[in-house]
Each structure stands twice: as C-alpha cells, then as structure tokens.
Amino acid sequence: MRTIVVNGTVINAEGRVAADVVIEGERIVSVVPRSANAVVPGPDDTVIDATGCFVIPGGVDAHVHMQLDTGTTVSSDSFESGTIAAAHGGTTTIIDFAEQRLGGQVLTSFEQRFAEAESQCVIDWGLHQVLGGVDAQALIDTRSLVEREGVASIKLFMAYPGRLYSDDGQILRALQMCADTGMMAMVHAENGLAIDVLIEQAVAAGNTGPEFHSLTRPPELEAEAVHRAAVLARVAGNAPLYIVHLSSSHALREVVEARSRGTNIFAETCPQYLHLSLEEHLGQGWPNGAGFICSTPLRSRHDHHQADLWEGLRIDQLAVVSTDHCPFCLREQKLANGEAFNVVPNGIGGVEHRMDLVYQGVVAGHISEERWVEVCATAPARLFGLGAKGVLAQGFDADVVIYDPNATSVIGAATHHMNLDYSAYEGVSVQGGVRTVLSRGEVIVNNGTFLGRVGRGKYLRRDVSRHIR
Ligand code: URP
Ligand code: ZN
Ligand code: ZN
C-alpha cells in the first residue's frame, strides 16, 4: 500500500517541480514530475490531494529546549507537548540538548536526557551534547558519543560564567576534539564576563527594566565572541563551528569575515531576531516585556539588524533558522522571582511557528520559497548529519508537509499548541499555513487536527560532517 501526494508543487532547496510524491512505508520511493508519466493510484493506495499547495520536506529545528531544567524552573513544554506543537507547525524533526553541568558527567547527562525524551516525542528527535565543564574526561566521553550514540555535535557557552561558561582554553581543547572527529561545535557566542559587569552596574544603578536585558548584552559583545570563537576554531585545525542564535549585524559581519578567511563557520538565526525588537517588545515594560527576555537578546529596530539578517539568509551568510524554543509561562515562571531583568529565566517559545514566520520572508520578498525550505529543513539536516531528512527525493524519509500559500491565520496563545500562557507573536497575521504533515509516511497532522501518537518519534543517530566547505 502506497501513499501518493498528488497535484502539488514540490519544492526542494534546489528548485521546484509540479510532481507527485509516492511513499511506501516510511520512505519516498519516487517524485514523479507530472510532465512525465502520470502516477496511477491503485485501489489500495491512499491519495492526498495537494492542489494549490506546496509540498515541502518536513522542517528540521536544530535548536530547541524542551523541559529544560534551569536550576530554578523547567521550560514549560515537555517533549510531548513541544513536539506536538512542532508537528502542527510543519516541523518533523527536532534536536534538543543533553547538558553536562559543571562537576557532572557527560555520559550520565546524555543517558538521563535520552530517558526523558524517549517515550514522549511524536516526531523524530536527536540530541546535541552540551559541555558545561570541559576537562579531559569530558572530552574522552564526548568523543565516544559519536560511535556509541550517534551524537555528532557539541555545544559550548562563552556566556553564563559560573554556570555553563567555558574559558578560551577549554573552548580550544573542545574545538581541537571537533577538528579531529568532525563533530560540529555549536557556540553560544557572547562575552559573558563583560556582560556580567554590565549587568551588575545596571542593577546597582536601579536600571532593572526588561530593556536592560538587551542593553547589558550589546551586539559588540556578541560580535567579539563570534570573532574569538572563529579564531579558536581556525587555530584548533579548522573545527566545524556553528554560531547559535545570531542576532545582530555586528555578529553577522564577523561570520562573513571569518568565512572569507576560510574558517569552517556556519550560523543560525531565529524567528525572534527576524521579527521582534528591543523597542516594541522588551520596551513594553512589566509584565509583558518579561516574555521577550532571551539570550542573545532582541536588538534595536533602528540599527538594520533585521534587514541584515534577512539578507544574510538570502545570500547564505546565515545557513539555518532554528527557534531556540525555550518557553516559560509569563506569570508563574518569567515573573516568579520579581520584576528585574536579571532574575527572569531566559527564553522564548516558538517551535510551532518557525515555518510560518520564515515564510513571511518569502511573502515580503526577502527570500525565495526554495531558500525557505533550505534554511528550515535541508541545511540543518545536512549540517547535523541527518542523511535521510530535509529533501523530498527517492530514498529519503517521507517527512512531508503540504503547505497552503493562500491560507491565513493570526498567531495567539488562545490557539497555539505550545504549553505556554502567552505568545511572543500574539496578534501577528500570517500568510500561508500548514495543511497536512506526514512523518515517515504517517499523517500526524491534518487541517489542524493532531493524528499522531505519543512516543512514535524515533531517536536519530547522526553522522559527523557532511559540511566541510
Ligand atoms: O534565552 C535563551 N536562549 N535560553 C535558552 C538557552 C540558550 O542560551 O540557548
Ligand atoms: Zn544560547
Ligand atoms: Zn538555546
């Protein structure tokens, strides 16, 4: 028995074609242009009509934090609720993080995180390994994760001193390991030591409004850290380096400069940096401003950051859009410790709306439909070793989204599926929308109804490095 998606326009990163997609079991067996022989469905075949719609690969969100324990609270989406929300938005793969904390063991942290996710996910999932305490044993253990568990990427923090922070020596050692193994080093690039001084000074001066979260994390300190990470990656033997949640023109310029020197560097941005700003969102004050506190922070709309990020996506200075989905409910979590920017848990929820929010860049003429598919699915799959994801072609997993470019909706907490009592995009009108989502050949969302099963998502072992430039 086959499933055949007929009458749609198939869009891959390489181009588009009027074609039918033939699925057997979990895989695509052919993509048949309608100018060639028409696919004739048999009596046992399931036919899904995609007339007027795009047929695209399921989204790959390479940066999410489900039920992340910050030490004081836990991000509000479980793997179950977060992956259901992701599925509604056309994302069929997530990569979350196992987190080694200072003094903790890498392998234990991986096993614990794996156990948390295993029975809950409704879509396919993988894990990056966070190193919060780089030492000799941590590096030995992390190296072993490639073979043992199919973990092809690590994450390092240049921010958050005393918590997850690594110094330059630790980062260099970890990058040497990545150069040697081909593992991708994801880096949260902000100069955390300098930021902590600015935070201390702002708080001492009584400047504790939400906007000071952004003002104490200036773009120069993001750019400086990107520059330093790129230099260290080159010195380490040109380790594959991936800058997470890039938010500013300043940091983007450093990526471009490093690439021009042959650095093996890639970067992602997130919908919040493409759509939200310091003035309009953090500038709302308390309580709503708390909902926009995330790191890296939202930037000023007066400084052309958003225009530069869209342009960076268009011309491949930026490779990927991920969400950095890290939701906390407004009253119970964001404001639980009071109204001061430095005590609000960092993070924004958005896993459900990434495909739509990036599609608004197509509507506005910033990027093509093909590039939308590439930054949301194809590139993250390729960069993070997901060889069967991100492309609609023979042999790939049948993760297929039918996307109606003429649909319209308004984003809001009353209708979203994330376990979150507010939306950072409340009231935003969206052109285009997900109609049907297949994950490995199974329809899991149709016209807004979830049809999947909790625990059906498969853990994805990943390969290292298909991405050396
Ligand atoms: O504010 C954010 N991004 N919270 C999640 C953790 C991180 O730094 O990615
Ligand atoms: Zn981060
Ligand atoms: Zn993150």
Residues with CB under 5 A from ligand 2 (ion): 188
> Is the distance from the beta carbon of residue 347 to the nearest atom of ligand 1 less than 6 Å?
yes
> Is the distance from the beta carbon of residue 188 to the nearest atom of ligand 1 less than 6 Å?
yes
The pLDDT tens digits of the residues spanning 190-228 come to: 999 999 999 999 999 999 999 999 999 999 999 999 999
Closest-lying ligand 1 atom to the alpha carbon of residue 346 = 1
Q: What is the pLDDT of residue 468?
A: 53
What does the angle CA 401 – CA 405 – CA 407 come to, to the nearest 5 degrees?
100
Is the Cβ–Cβ distance between 63 and 324 less than 8 Å? yes
How far apart, in whole angstroms, are the C-alpha atoms of residue 236 and residue 177? 8
How far apart, in whole angstroms, are the C-alpha atoms of residue 433 and residue 426? 16
The pLDDT tens digits of the residues spanning 109-164 come to: 999 999 999 999 999 999 999 999 999 999 999 999 999 999 999 999 999 999 99
What HEC string does 279-306 produce? CCCHHHCCCHHHHHCCCCCCCCHHHCHH
Which residue, chain included where needed, has tokens 């794996």?
114
Residue 196 is inside which H or E element, if any? helix 192-204
The pLDDT tens digits of the residues spanning 437-447 come to: 999 999 999 99
How far apart, in whole angstroms, are the C-alpha atoms of residue 380 and residue 319? 8
The pLDDT tens digits of the residues spanning 377-399 come to: 999 999 999 999 999 999 999 99
How far apart, in whole angstroms, are the C-alpha atoms of residue 321 and residue 358? 8
Among protein residues, the one with the nearest Cα to ligand 1's atom 3 is 295
> Is the distance from the beta carbon of residue 75 to the nearest atom of ligand 1 less than 6 Å?
no
Mutational test site, ligand 1, from 61, 77, 222, 294, max ligand atoms within 8 Å of CB: 294
The pLDDT tens digits of the residues spanning 296-344 come to: 999 999 989 999 999 999 999 999 999 999 999 999 999 999 999 999 9
Residue 458 DSSP label: P
Closest-lying ligand 1 atom to the alpha carbon of residue 347 = 1
Residue 9 is inside which H or E element, if any? strand 2-12
Q: Percent of the chain, pLDDT > 90?
A: 96
Using the predicted structure, report yes or no on whether residue 101 has a pLDDT greater than 50. Answer: yes
How far apart, in whole angstroms, are the C-alpha atoms of residue 214 and residue 297? 5
The torsion angle over the Cα atoms of residues 61, 77, 417 and 96, rounded to 10 degrees, is 10
Q: What is the pLDDT of residue 467?
A: 60
> Is the distance from the beta carbon of residue 346 to the nearest atom of ligand 1 less than 6 Å?
yes
Helices 219-235 & 168-181, crossing angle to 10 degrees? 50
How far apart, in whole angstroms, are the C-alpha atoms of residue 387 and residue 255? 26
Among protein residues, the one with the nearest Cα to ligand 1's atom 4 is 347
CATH code linked to domain 58-383: 3.20.20.140
Phi, psi of 408 (to 5 degrees): -135, 150
Residue 345 C-alpha to ligand 1 middle, in angstroms?
Answer: 9
Among protein residues, the one with the nearest Cα to ligand 1's atom 7 is 295
Mutational test site, ligand 1, from 157, 269, 322, 324, max ligand atoms within 8 Å of CB: 324
Can you give the pTM of this predicted structure? 0.97
Q: What is the pLDDT of residue 37?
A: 76
> Is the distance from the beta carbon of residue 295 to the nearest atom of ligand 1 less than 6 Å?
yes
Is the Cβ–Cβ distance between 321 and 363 less than 8 Å? no
Token reading at 130: 């966070």
Q: What is the pLDDT of residue 258?
A: 98
**Which pLDDT band, with edges at 50, 70 and 90, does 1 fall under?**
confident
How far apart, in whole angstroms, are the C-alpha atoms of residue 327 and residue 74? 9
Helix segments in 205-342, DSSP class H: 211-215, 219-235, 249-260, 271-275, 305-314
Three-state DSSP at 159 gives coil
Residue 58 DSSP label: P
Q: What is the pLDDT of residue 42?
A: 92
Looking at CATH, the fold of the domain delimited by 2-56+390-406+430-450 is given as Urease, subunit C; domain 1 (2.30.40)
Cα–Cα separations (whole angstroms), residue 113 to 68, 100, 404:
10, 10, 36
Token reading at 317: 């200075």
* Chain region(s) in the chain for CATH 2.30.40.10: 2-56+390-406+430-450
> Is the distance from the beta carbon of residue 155 to the nearest atom of ligand 1 less than 6 Å?
no
Phi, psi of 4 (to 5 degrees): -125, 120
* Chain region(s) in the chain for CATH 3.20.20.140: 58-383
> Is the distance from the beta carbon of residue 375 to the nearest atom of ligand 1 less than 6 Å?
no
Mean pLDDT estimate for the chain: 97
Token reading at 205: 């001066």
Q: What is the pLDDT of residue 466?
A: 59
How far apart, in whole angstroms, are the C-alpha atoms of residue 334 and residue 337? 8
Nearest-ligand number for the alpha carbon of 61: 3
Report the candidate in 99, 233, 247, 242 with the shortest Cα–Cα distance to residue 164. 99
Residue length of the chain = 469
Residue 347 C-alpha to ligand 1 middle, in angstroms?
Answer: 5
The pLDDT tens digits of the residues spanning 258-284 come to: 999 999 999 999 999 999 999 999 999
Nearest-Å Rg of the Cα atoms of the chain is 21
Q: What is the pLDDT of residue 38?
A: 76
> Is the distance from the beta carbon of residue 324 to the nearest atom of ligand 1 less than 6 Å?
yes
Token reading at 11: 């869009």
Average pLDDT for residues 16-37, to the nearest whole number? 94
Q: What is the pLDDT of residue 253?
A: 98
Using the predicted structure, report yes or no on whether residue 106 has a pLDDT greater than 70. Answer: yes
Among protein residues, the one with the nearest Cα to ligand 1's atom 5 is 347
> Is the distance from the beta carbon of residue 130 to the nearest atom of ligand 1 less than 6 Å?
no
Any idea which of 21-30, 31-40, 151-160 has the lowest mean pLDDT? Answer: 31-40
Task: Name the residue type at position 304.
Answer: H
Classify strands 241-243 and 265-269 as parallel, antiparallel or unpaired: parallel
Closest-lying ligand 1 atom to the alpha carbon of residue 65 = 5
Closest-lying ligand 1 atom to the alpha carbon of residue 294 = 1
**Which pLDDT band, with edges at 50, 70 and 90, does 469 fall under?**
very low
Classify each residue of 384-393 as buried b or exposed e, where b means 16 or more C-beta atoms within 10 Å of its C-beta. bbbebbbbbe
Closest-lying ligand 1 atom to the alpha carbon of residue 295 = 1
Peptide bond between residue 296 and the one before it cis (omega within 30 degrees of 0): yes
> Is the distance from the beta carbon of residue 326 to the nearest atom of ligand 1 less than 6 Å?
yes
How far apart, in whole angstroms, are the C-alpha atoms of residue 16 and residue 54? 9
Average pLDDT for residues 34-39, to the nearest whole number? 81
